Structure 1
Amino acid sequence: MRKIILTKLFVLICCSMIAQDIDSKPEVTIVSLLNEMGDKDELAKLPQYAYKTLQASSYSRKSVSENKEGWFDNADASQFIREEVNEGRKEYVLMDVEGPGAIVRFWSTWHAQKFSMGTLRIYFDNASSPQIEGRIDEIISSNKYVGTSLSHKVASFQENGGWFEGHNLYFPLPYAKHCKVTYEKADESVDDVLYYQINYRRYAPEVSVETYQKGDWETGRFQESISAASKKLVQHNLTINNGKKNFLNGVVKAGGSVSIQLNGNKVVRKITVKINAAHMEQALRSTVIAMEFDGEKTVWVPIGDFFGTGYKLSPHRTWMSELNKDGEMGLNFPMPFQNLAKITIHNFGKQEVELENVEIIHTPWEWDSRSLYFHANWRNYPNISTSEKKDINYIEIKGKGKYVGDALVLFNNSYEWWGEGDEKIYVDGETFPSHFGTGTEDYYGYAWCSVVDFEDPFIAQPIGDGNRSPGLTVNSRWRSLDAIPFDKSLKFDMEIWHWAATEMDYAATTYWYGTKDSEAAFREAVKSVQLPLKFSDRFEAEGFDIQQINGGEVITQAFLSYDWSARNHLLWKNIKKNDSLTLTFYSEKERKGKLTMVFTNAPDYVVVDVSLNGKVIFKDLDLFAEKVSLQEYLSENEVILKGENSLVLKVKGGGRKGVKVDKLGFDFLKVD
């Protein structure tokens, strides 16, 4: 009997020890964060473990209050918390915060042509030596251990001989007690410039977090989780398995609407829309998608803005949005509801719009206390004056929820950069924003007003025509681990900080989740979607799409000392005889007249044939000049541009004694 009692006691003790061991395991780890990153359903729920999302950045320290001078100051580089000496080296402190927490996004850029890469160090839990140490680019954007989905540079272009780009790291770096990030210049004698934004979570004190350990990247212990997360981030466009589909098709007359309803405890997993209209651009703006979930109106956004393409169809793919070459647009946010969902397409334009395909994919959803409703709101600022710097509001929300992304669509009327403005995000009644940025393009993951289009899981610039010249620009940012929870309110302001005193059109779509009582301060804007759209009269070559390249390499190049339109031109380099380049560009209306093309001329530039839409326009065009200069070339006959247009450049040669001829520079074209 005693033996049996002792045996039972031993079993109870072992079970208790096992239970204690299970309870002592950290709640937040690199693996759990990577799993959360790729789980879209977590976006539609309140956080499992309470946290606040905050930001450390190099914003101007002169910005102390919106009522005081310096609020719009632009000195937002190399603004560090302090300097300190560690083991004889000078380190500049970017971030110094208490835990438990996790870095969830790290963006930075620098004057790449002026200095060698400095050293980034990250110290966790008050350690005297860093757990992460290395060249800044090799940690943030060229991190071979975490892969390109979680570590990349974007919008690369060459200006004044150096490369400029935005650098992004999304690999989560958790810590239990404390985190300090420092930077050491490669050369203290060089006045290098560092811009940075570090988004991080601060968990509630009771949350247990496992700290990143030195060598975690190198050992490969997280490779399986990294691969799984990366796969989810790039396979966003695959059909939802086991999802049921509902369709909405037909013609929506001017002023008309069509709707579809879904019943039951479900989640809309994906919405796909393809439309046709005589004037597609205006249809993308004047056709509106609206949604109601369980009787609450939560979505009202123009179709093009909703899918992150604005009023020009520009194919791209991200984690949340996609647009294929056939013009089919998709959005992948989960949209759960308990009883009833209603999706409506409104046509507020003056033309008929054909719904070639509207597809709603849905699956069952178990609604619980963490579930939230999906919202998307649109706010438009047409003809906004840039003569004075100002904060404009993206969204203001009252209630409880999570902020998960936004898309910006604008038309710039100037040849100057429009996006020096910083984001300012206030959470739960803050008097000073917990997110104070360093520039609009930095917020969207790129840098230096780049006109280069890009797409990555969390950020995209499908259209950058308006960054340095009159034209359209579209930027988007989707949040996962850097989503911003709020308990009472959220206010998102963005500075309008333009280098020119002009007017511009500026429209932001915001995506968020909330409880049934949460609401935005504004919703519908029928008159705004009916306004006529704006377009540029010239087509910048660096904004053309490359369809085919046979030989050489194409880059966007800028030199401030040259008079290129928008400060850039398309440079095709390392080319030889018979190499060819096929470019496409889109004209929203019919243009008929003489074609003017502006090329760069230089001693090492080639002779080329130029064909437009299958017809030779210029034959044996010699781009040689003794010095670098710009030259206009006028076609003999009239041409017609409409819709998609194809331009083919074929190298004929151009050898000159003692000079290697291997380049072509193309600035812009127009039809008058």
Structure 2
Amino acid sequence: MAELDNIYKKHEGTRLRESSYDRTGGNKDYFTLRPHEPITIFDQQTPGKIVHIWSTLVGMAGDEQYLYRKIVLRFYWDGEQNPSIEAPIGDFFGMGHGITHNFVSAPFQMAPEDGQALNCYLPMPYEQAKITVESDADNDVKFYFYVDYFGDVEPDSPMRLHAQWHREITKGVPEDSVANNAEFEFGGKNVDGANNYVILDAKGSGQYIGTNINIQNLRMTRNWNWYGEGDDMVFVDGAKEPTLNGTGMEDYFNTAWCPTQEYNSPYFGIILGGGPNWSGKVSYYHYHIQDPIPFDQSIKVTIEHGHDNHRSDDYSSTAYWYQEEPHQVFTPLLPVAERLPLPDVIEPTDEETKPFFNY
């Protein structure tokens, strides 16, 4: 690996850290997040590069459901007024649904206990940098963090890290509008991606480096209920037809055959595999560390929600990319009530038939 190849070479700059340590020397090593009162945890006016962020948090009034969707991170580069990174904290660090789960990838890791130790290793060069944290929780939150960085080092690229969260209850077709379940799952034609779920829609010059995507299956049926038959379609620099066209959701995430098993690798994996007949909540990631997708003018990264966009499910995702500033201003983040997961759909408990279609 390149990191090991270069580990003996002295790094430029001064190794520094911002953290939530107790300034009195005591053991109160956290900042208090009060509802709707943003705090700044990192503010540097001279050039540098963030190399690692660690965080953990806990509600001060006991467990609070979906806390990791209620805390929002925002990063601002080089004096900009609009954030280049804006996402709920759990989603930014690798998975959604407002929960945590142990997993390992190269850029993001959720570590024990139960994935509550959040880590990011993506490099973030800057001329100036500010990171804020805002809580939409019901009660105060203990917030612990490290931001590890090198100061006194000039950026070696004009590109800055960006990340944006998106959530949508997709609009499919009524099941009674198609002849049968096979037609619902596998029928129809989609060549232009017009109604696809949009992971990223960015303007400027840069490169897309991946996403985590989280789906909650909202369909109750004893028929084949695989949610992921849709293809990924990526449009670069205003292309009307896909520049890159995939063959299925699990294929984009480098897995196969409607998977349900949890799996972690450096660049892709399945954090949650779902329940019987592909019910419940799933989480995937694919980080294009070795195979980024460059763009000079724009990029639109999309995926079908079921083949030909037939399915209505709960989708959310965080897209990651580097680009030169200025970036396109993000659409406003959904209010907290619209960020929270939906109740689980309860599947029938008796033995289900899941015919395999040779598609």
255, 258, 270: which is aligned to 1:449? 258
| Structure 1 residue matching 2:209: 3-state secondary structure | strand
- Map of 2:17 onto structure 1: 245
Distance 2:310 2:298 in 1: 34
1:668 equivalent in structure 2: none
Q: Could you report, residue by residue, the CA deviation over 1:342-368 in whole angstroms, capped at 9, with x for unpaired residues?
A: 11111123233221x111110136435
Structure 1 residue ranges without an equivalent (≥5): 1-34, 40-227, 233-240, 541-561, 568-672
Asked whether the equivalents of residues 126 and 155 of structure 2 are also in contact (C-alpha less than 8 Å), the reply is no
- Please say if residues 260 and 278 of structure 2, whose CA atoms lie closer than 8 Å, have aligned partners that are also in contact: no
Q: Secondary structure, in 3 states, of the residue corresponding to 1:522?
A: coil
Q: Give the total of aligned pairs.
A: 311
Pair 1:289-2:73 in alignment = yes
1:290/1:529 CA distance change after superposition, 3 Å: farther
1:303 maps to which residue? 89
Corresponding residue for 1:345? Answer: 133
Contact 2:93 2:118 in 1 (8 A): yes
Partner of 1:422: 231
- Say if 1:539 and 1:260 are closer, same or farther in 2 by CA, change over 3 A: farther
Q: Give the deviation of 1:494 after TM superposition.
A: 1.1
* Pair 1:410-2:215 in alignment: yes
1:269 lines up with 2:51 in the alignment: yes
1:465 aligns with 2:274: yes
User: Residues 410 and 506 of structure 1 are in contact (CA less than 8 Å); yes or no, is this contact kept in structure 2?
Assistant: yes
Decide whether the 8 Å contact of 2:18 with 2:42 is kept in 1.
no
Higher relative contact order (CA 8 A, sep 6+): 2
Contact 2:217–2:345 (CA<8 Å) still a contact in 1? Answer: no
Q: Does 1:378 align with 2:181?
A: no
Query: Which residue of 31, 35, 38 corresponds with 1:257?
Result: 38
- Amino acid corresponding to residue 293 of structure 1 in structure 2: W
TM-score normalised to structure 1 length = 0.43
Equivalent-residue separation in structure 2 for 1:262 and 1:256 (angstroms): 17
The one of 197, 210, 215 aligned to 1:392:
197
Deviation at 1:394, TM superposition (A): 1.2
Instruction: Name the CA distance, whole Å, in 2 between partners of 1:534 and 1:367.
Output: 48
How big is the shift at 1:273?
A: 1.4
Number of the residue aligned with 2:178: none
Structure-2 change in CA distance of 1:492 and 1:419 (3 Å):
same
Measure how far apart 1:429 and its partner are.
Answer: 1.4
CA–CA distance in 2 between the matches of 1:307 and 1:336?
A: 18
Alpha-carbon offset, residue 519 of structure 1? 2.4
Structure-2 residue corresponding to 1:517: 326
- 8 A contact 2:42–2:147 mirrored in 1: no
State the 1:533 CA deviation.
3.7
TM-score (ref. length: structure 2):
0.77
Say which is worse superposed, 411-420 or 464-473, in terms of deviation: 464-473
CA RMSD of aligned residues (A): 3.1
Structure 1 residues 374 and 500: CA distance shift in structure 2, 3 A? closer
Shift of 1:499: 10
Deviations 1:589-634 (A, max 9, x none): xxxxxxxxxxxxxxxxxxxxxxxxxxxxxxxxxxxxxxxxxxxxxx
Q: Which structure shows the bigger proportion of residues in strand conformation?
A: 1
Spell out the pairing of 1:142-541 with structure 2 (5 A cutoff).
243-248=15-20, 249-263=30-44, 264-277=46-59, 278-296=62-80, 297-310=83-96, 311-326=98-113, 327-338=116-127, 340-355=128-143, 357-364=144-151, 366-367=153-154, 370-382=157-169, 384-387=170-173, 390-414=195-219, 416-465=225-274, 468-497=277-306, 503-519=312-328, 522=331, 524-527=333-336, 530-531=339-340, 533-535=342-344
The one-letter code of the counterpart of 1:312 is I
Query: Which whole-Å deviations, capped at 9, do the CAs of 1:104-143 have from their partners, x for residues lacking one?
Result: xxxxxxxxxxxxxxxxxxxxxxxxxxxxxxxxxxxxxxxx
The 3 A distance-change label for structure 1 pair 257 and 440 is same
List, as ranges, runs of 4+ consecutive aligned residues in structure 1 with deviation greater than 4 Å: 498-502, 527-530, 536-540, 564-567
Maintained 8 Å contact 1:270/1:333 = yes
Q: Please give the per-residue CA displacement for 1:540-577, whole angstroms capped at 9, x wherever unaligned.
A: 9xxxxxxxxxxxxxxxxxxxxx935889xxxxxxxxxx
